[in-house]
Amino acid sequence: MKLTEDQLAIQQAVTELCAPFDDAYWHHIEAAGEYPKEFVQALTDAGWLAALVPEEYGGAGGSIIDAAIILEALERAGCPTVVAHAQMYTMGTLLRHGSEEQKKRYLPGVADGSIRFQSFGVTEPDAGSDTTRIRTFARREGDEYIVNGSKIFTSRFNYSDVLMLLVRTQKYDDVVKKTDGMTVLLVDIPEAVASGQIEARPIETMMSHETNELSIRDLRVPVANRIGEEGKGFRYILSGMNAERVLVASEYIGHGLWFIDRATRYAREREVFGRPIGQNQGVQFPLAQAYANLHAASLARWNAAELFMAGEQPQYEANSCKLLASQALWAAANAAMDTFGGYGVTKEYGIERRFREARLPLVAPLNNNVILAGIAHGTLGLPKSY
């Protein structure tokens, strides 16, 4: 897809914003175990995290393609988007299925930066990728839901004001269709934490990710905070997840191109046996193959984005572009590590940190094996394996 002049301007502006947040900044953040507040604030102040908020609520009114360009540019400039990206893909659920009152309540604050909407509570310890098996349950009492349960790998919880929470309002054994009986609630995080209704326990991971396990005890959520109809939450979340797949694929493409940029520059400059290592086909071919794979994934990404913008639910297209982009990223990461050799594992060049970051997309969000199984039985009509 050829970018317009406006889209190229977005790309350039985002790249320039990243200049102060260099390798040294990210090394410090990781070593100190800190959340990159300065970086996220810069994104907020520039309005990039509100790109998808419609103009009538104070946002830029951008498209999912604009958001994809932003996230790809951030990653290609070396800035990990995982620290803030959820604010974009949660928009899909709220914008498509939220009430007008909810949009007026939350979106202006998201647009001006006074409301951080970056936390998404879906995964549970005993359910994993089988979202239909979640157990967190919301019992309705008058104008409130009383919620009890737990969530795991809930990122950015401590740096968000609103949590989008998927719960069951009917138990798994009581529904005919396993995707029925789930409901989406919007939770006021500061209030829930202050009252002791949600307790967050940090989970240490191999990279700075700010992720937590949540214990939810008698959490009171107003019925007015429910998105759409009770029991129809899975399809609403799926709408947001299709947007998520497109956007994270864009991140992986940018991340992969960062590896290609770094590795090709190093391969031109590094001399061994009297010539640049980039002259050797053993270095050239893996980089060339990874570059081609990234561009193929990019085409799949734009196709899924266009279908989403047309109002469709491109589940196959969104999942397959995430699959292809994560695989292309991992190939680029390995090609870069091989190019740098021993220097690749040193902190000086930044490869080892971003190499670790490149491994996660193969398993989350949504394990690639689950995507392959979905394509096999959902698209190709093969017997279900689970």
Give the integer Cα–Cα distance in Å for 191 and 154: 17
Q: Can you tell me the distance from the alpha carbon of 175 to that of 264, in angstroms, rounded to the nearest whole number?
A: 55
Q: Averaged over 332-357, what is the pLDDT?
A: 96
Instruction: Tell me the pLDDT tens digit for each residue of 1-40.
Output: 889 999 999 999 999 999 999 999 999 999 998 999 999 9
Mean pLDDT (the chain) is 94
Report the alpha-carbon distance of residue 180 to residue 78 in Å, rounded.
41
> Quick one: pLDDT at residue 143?
97
Q: What count of other Cβ atoms lies within 10 Å of the Cβ of residue 29?
A: 19
Confidence category of residue 206, pLDDT binned at 50, 70, 90: confident
**Whole-model pTM?**
0.95
pLDDT at position 129, please? 79
3-state helix, strand, coil in the chain (%, to 5): 60, 15, 25
What's the pLDDT at 148? 98
How many angstroms separate the most distant Cα atoms in the chain?
79
Angle (CA) 16-11-237 rounded to 5° is 115
Looking at residue 208, its pLDDT comes to 66
DSSP helix/strand/coil, 230: coil
Q: Read off the pLDDT of residues 88-141 as tens digits, 9 standing for 90 and up.
A: 877 778 988 999 999 999 999 999 999 999 999 999 998 877 899 999 999 999
Confidence of residue 345 (pLDDT cuts 50, 70, 90): very high
**Are 201 and 210 spatial neighbours (Cβ–Cβ below 8 Å)?**
no
| pLDDT tens readout for residues 153-189 | 999 999 999 999 999 999 999 999 999 999 999 999 9
Q: Determine contact, residues 245/303, Cβ cutoff 8 Å.
A: no
Q: Of 102, 42, 37, 353, give the one whose Cα is nearest residue 205.
A: 353
Tokens for 59, please give them. 């946002």
